[in-house]
Amino acid sequence: MTEELTPLATAKPKQAGGPNQLLIDLGPIVIFVIAFNVLQRIEATKDNAVYIATGIFIAATLAAIGYCRVKLGRIPPVLLVTGVIVAAFGGLTLWLRNPAFIQIKPTFTYLFYVAAILVSLVIRQNVWKLLFGHAFNLPDRIWTVLALRWSAFFLFQAILNEVIRNTQSFDFWLNSRPFIVFPLTLAFAAMNTPIVLKHHRERDENDATSAQTAK
């Protein structure tokens, strides 16, 4: 998740990517924040800082997608979805010269995640398990608990984003991403780590048990 941290980042059994994946996830939004804060302090770019930084944000997100494709041989589904949303809302921001679109982007993203999780549970194809099943071997009941918890958290984040963007300046909204949103996400991920580690079972052990049973 480019702007939204990988939800199970604090629990680490067999999780692919590690620090490099975290850098890919966070890199574009950090670049966006830094670019805006630098550009608005330069007289020549002050008036267009939002739009120049938005263009840089789009380019950084696409670069992250390209890096994953070339270096890792695959594009994480969440990063791909984020890339499409960033390009769409960032493009509207530049085209209509209205920064409200890039501010709405997180709200749309969070609500998309909520809808995707809940629909996947209804059709019995838990998207949380599909995304993180390669890293954790958990009972279906625990995958459902995690999916519901994160859908509730994403809904909270969507509401929080709307409150901040409608009551605070653009500067405050943008700088709240690394100083409010990211810490909240890390804290929530940490709160869910115990249940993940408690129920995680190594696949090798399960495979060995199955093999012995078959004999």
Name the residue range of residue 75's domain. 18-214
Residue 161 is assigned to a structural domain of this protein: yes
Distant-in-sequence, close-in-space partners of 58: CB < 8 Å, separation ≥ 6: 86, 87, 90, 91
Which pLDDT value is given to residue 65?
A: 92
Q: Is 13 part of a structural domain of the chain?
A: no
3-state secondary structure the chain: CCCCCCCCCCCCCCCCCHHHHHHHHHHHHHHHHHHHHHHCCCCCCHHHHHHHHHHHHHHHHHHHHHHHHHHHCCCCHHHHHHHHHHHHHHHHHHHHCCCHHHHHHHHHHHHHHHHHHHHHHHCCCCHHHHHHCCCCCCCHHHHHHHHHHHHHHHHHHHHHHHHHHHHCCHHHHHHHHHHHHHHHHHHHHHHHHHHHHHHCCCHHHHHHHHHHHHC
Structure confidence at residue 204 (pLDDT): 60
pLDDT on residue 74: 84
Is position 35 within any domain?
A: yes
Q: Is residue 83 part of a domain?
A: yes
CA distance 190 to 112: 23
Give pLDDT, residue 20: 61
Query: Mean pLDDT per segment of 10 residues, for the chain of length 215 residues?
Result: 52 51 77 95 94 96 91 84 93 96 96 95 92 86 95 97 96 93 92 90 56 45
Query: What's the structural domain count of the chain?
Result: 1
Within a domain: 8: no
For residue 185, tell me if it sits in a domain: yes
Q: What is the pLDDT of residue 126?
A: 93
Give a yes or no: residue 1 inside a domain: no
Residue 2 maps to a domain = no
